[in-house]
Structure 1
Amino acid sequence: MEKQFIPLSVPNLKGNELAYVTEAVKTEWVSTAGPYIADFEKAAADYVHVPAACACQSGTAGLHLALKVLGIQPGEEVLVPTLTFVAAVNPVHYIGADPVFMDCDDTLTLDPKKLKRFCEEECEFDGNILKNKTSCRKVTALVVVHVFGNLADMEEIMSLAGTYHLKVIEDATEALGSCYREGAYEGRYAGTIGDIGVFSFNGNKIITTGGGGMVVSQNPELTERCRFLSTQAKKDTVYFVHEEIGYNYRMTNLQAALGLAQLEQLEEFIRIKKENYELYQKEGIKLLPFRSDIRSNYWFYSYLTDNRDGLIRYLEQHQIQSRPVWKLIHTLKPYAESRAYQIEKALWYYDRIVNIPCSSNLEGESVKRVAERIHSFLKEQT
């Protein structure tokens, strides 16, 4: 008889979550107004060392707001990774722009060498505007996704963005707490280097609000603009004056109460996830490494195998949840006609990655059980 089911990634709600949410309910501040929203925004901004933050309904909503406030226009092109969750790319279509898909490097994040090659060889630059020679469209922005808690090479990417006048949106939805330990961005957190950064608090993220997101920037005018658009662009709150199109993207006070309690425990969650990552290694499970020049949040653990689907089925039979990496976005039906530039390494990783249990409440015995089952699977294959 198998032991208890081991999920892939679930919330850890053992702090002040119940107390704060109960307080929000008792005071009847449960919707998109209430003190916990401002408290959560300030706490998040303080944690990542930015002047302001805007809490919203999801990371996807945050990315949509980011593209809007940065002025990306319909018909322009935005460079995006193919190895990521589709929510990182869909907002490009929301605003009527077109994605151009880029490959990853061995960190699973955007490959800066291919980014440079694309800009140099596939585009024309007149000193102000970068234009795709094939489509004749302006290339105006870049979405960088920090995958599984790893960090992209922001030093090289920001240099290229500066050269070609590209706006940079950091999708840090998986990387809250990851930061550089050396280099030009030493001490800087994921999401705080580009023009705008976005975090997610979905149920499987390192901290959760059930569903929710946060927009951050070193430029407080951008976050204030996001806040304005997220509350239906209400110019006059008494007479309901709206002079432009806004969105119902504001986080609720109930969500923020939960998020504030979660944020109080973030460093402990990172400690546990690092400890479990290292325990897997001690048990003989070699996982994809994180960059040596960063402090990762260790959000997801990636195991490589030549029998991805077989391992996933085997673990499922033994009450262990795992999953493959996302289907590459340039292969999805809605993006079949979009340009994909020299996608090679992402294809290799797509065929081999299996994400294994990594919750912050995962106990050592469960880690050992997962490791034992992986070893058993490998023995059966030989």
Structure 2
Amino acid sequence: MFESLVSFVREQYKSNEFIPLHAPIFSANERDYVMDTIDSTFVSSVGAYVDRFEREMAAYVGSQRAVATVNGTAALHMALKLVGVLPGDLVITQPLTFVATCNAIAYCGAEPVFIDVDRTTLGLSPKALEQWLDEYAYIDADGACRTLADNKNVRACVPMHTFGHPADLDGLVDVCVRWNIALVEDAAESLGSLYRGRHTGTFGSVGVLSFNGNKIITTGGGGMILTDEVVGARAKHLTTTAKIPHPYEYVHDEIGYNYRLPNINAALGCAQLEALESFISAKRALAARYADYFNNSDLYFVREPEACKSNYWLNAVICQDRAQRDELLKTTNESGVMTRPIWALMNRLPFHHGARAGELPNAHWLEERVVNIPSSVIPDLCQ
């Protein structure tokens, strides 16, 4: 049934070899910049490329401050600490996400609360969020959001911009402001995506990006914290082992984290960032081709939400049911064209058994049906 899709994908990539889901692409300056760090001997956590990468990323996304980290999970862990998440607190997030979102919550000793997603965005639903808060939470005399049942502090909310498609940020910001909950955006997948003309990751108190090898640009591994100047300075201090500057003494004023991005990785990131706009152009062109292909199909191609510009990091289709999903996965993968199902819901994982959750009809529906299809940048489509 899906042999024609295999042929279509092979036509786009002009290849009869194995086609991965998402592979990195290197353009002009990656080798030169990386070799420059080697020649300078500053390949580790101190170097000019780290400063440059942070500065240029902040300018690109429109954030006051950007702080580079060793990976996106470390960035999210630090983001939660920066907004005050403490052991025993509750952090609201979506069940339809990559496991790193919830791992960062666990690193803080906090508990996740799983709230349903919207089918149109695949991201956290403001309506479902408000419904859960109305039923299970209240605002105490000090203005803190707490649970009615056990007086737990609902400290933060972490939506994830799924596959690069922005969540409903207007709605989420509104609910979080009214309930005095810190909004932390997991924008790991959405570098280059815009919500009403503004970059994802810049709407909450803190946002995070990822530069893993499968992201739209890569540093090999790496992440970034996006925030304001004051919080950014705090982030930089904590992620660099909380070391007080001194010409030669080792002075640390609190427990810190060695979450620094090495200079050699930042060099790769600087070169990749130079090509980001051409990558986005190519990925949007590929998405347009997919949209045309699936236009008369019984598979629904996931398009960018209204008033958004998505980077289309991973293209996705929604199948009619699980049986069709399984047939699609089997046919394509056996034919050497990599496809993947969406993640298993986080509340299904054994270590989240019994976690608090609202009703999750959309998340369950999507889990049964969503498949990612090859999304690597095609060089011929770069502009």
When the two structures are superposed, what TM-score results if normalisation uses the length of structure 2? 0.91
Bigger Cα displacement from structure 2, 319-328 vs 124-133: 124-133
Q: Does 1:226 pair with 2:239?
A: no
Bigger Cα displacement from structure 2, 319-328 vs 299-308: 299-308
Instruction: Tell me the CA shift for residue 222 of structure 1.
Output: 0.9
Q: What pairs with 1:300-315 in structure 2 (closer than 5 Å)?
A: 300-305=314-319, 306=321, 307-315=324-332
Match of 2:148 in 1: 133
Q: Does 1:323 pair with 2:340?
A: yes
Match of 1:154 in 2: 169
| Amino acid of the structure 2 residue aligned with 1:229 | L
Counterpart CA distance in 2 for 1:35 and 1:300 is: 32
Give the SS at the match of 2:44. Answer: coil
Match of 2:310 in 1: 296
Match of 1:334 in 2: 351
Match of 2:180 in 1: 165
- Per-residue Cα deviation, 1:158-182 (whole angstroms, up to 9, x for no partner): 111111111110000000111123x
| Amino acid of the structure 1 residue aligned with 2:189 | E
- Whether the 8 Å CA contact 2:169–2:195 is kept in 1: the answer is no
- Whether the 8 Å CA contact 1:132–1:139 is kept in 2: the answer is yes
Instruction: Tell me the CA shift for residue 91 of structure 1.
Output: 1.2
- Per-residue Cα deviation, 1:15-41 (whole angstroms, up to 9, x for no partner): 211111011111111000010000000
Q: Does 1:357 pair with 2:374?
A: yes
- Per-residue Cα deviation, 1:268-298 (whole angstroms, up to 9, x for no partner): 1010001001111222364111112011111
Q: 1:91 aligns with which of 92, 104, 111?
A: 104
| Amino acid of the structure 2 residue aligned with 1:220 | E
Q: Does 1:273 pair with 2:290?
A: no
- Per-residue Cα deviation, 1:253-280 (whole angstroms, up to 9, x for no partner): 0100000000111111010001001111
| Amino acid of the structure 1 residue aligned with 2:353 | A
Match of 1:49 in 2: 62
Counterpart CA distance in 1 for 2:360 and 2:112 is: 14
Instruction: Tell me the CA shift for residue 363 of structure 1.
Output: 6.3
Q: Does 1:215 pair with 2:228?
A: no
Deviating runs (4+, > 4 A) in structure 1?
none
- Whether the 8 Å CA contact 2:294–2:301 is kept in 1: the answer is no
Q: Any gaps of 5 or more consecutive residues in structure 2?
A: 1-14
Q: Does 1:4 pair with 2:13?
A: no
- Whether the 8 Å CA contact 1:92–1:99 is kept in 2: the answer is yes
Instruction: Tell me the CA shift for residue 336 of structure 1.
Output: 0.6
Give the SS at the match of 2:118. Answer: coil
- Per-residue Cα deviation, 1:288-318 (whole angstroms, up to 9, x for no partner): 1111201111111111222222211211111
Q: Does 1:113 pair with 2:127?
A: yes
Q: RMSD in angstroms over aligned alpha carbons?
A: 1.4
Counterpart CA distance in 2 for 1:362 and 1:265 is: 11
| Amino acid of the structure 2 residue aligned with 1:350 | E
Give the SS at the match of 2:199. Answer: coil
- Per-residue Cα deviation, 1:116-153 (whole angstroms, up to 9, x for no partner): 11111111223612111233311111111111111111
Counterpart CA distance in 2 for 1:247 and 1:361 is: 38
Match of 2:3 in 1: none
Q: Does 1:32 pair with 2:45?
A: yes
Q: 1:67 aligns with which of 65, 80, 92?
A: 80
Q: What pairs with 1:180-195 in structure 2 (closer than 5 Å)?
A: 180-181=195-196, 187-195=197-205
Instruction: Tell me the CA shift for residue 242 of structure 1.
Output: 1.5
Match of 2:4 in 1: none
- Whether the 8 Å CA contact 1:56–1:250 is kept in 2: the answer is yes
Counterpart CA distance in 2 for 1:340 and 1:292 is: 28
Counterpart CA distance in 2 for 1:284 and 1:111 is: 26
Counterpart CA distance in 2 for 1:151 and 1:358 is: 18
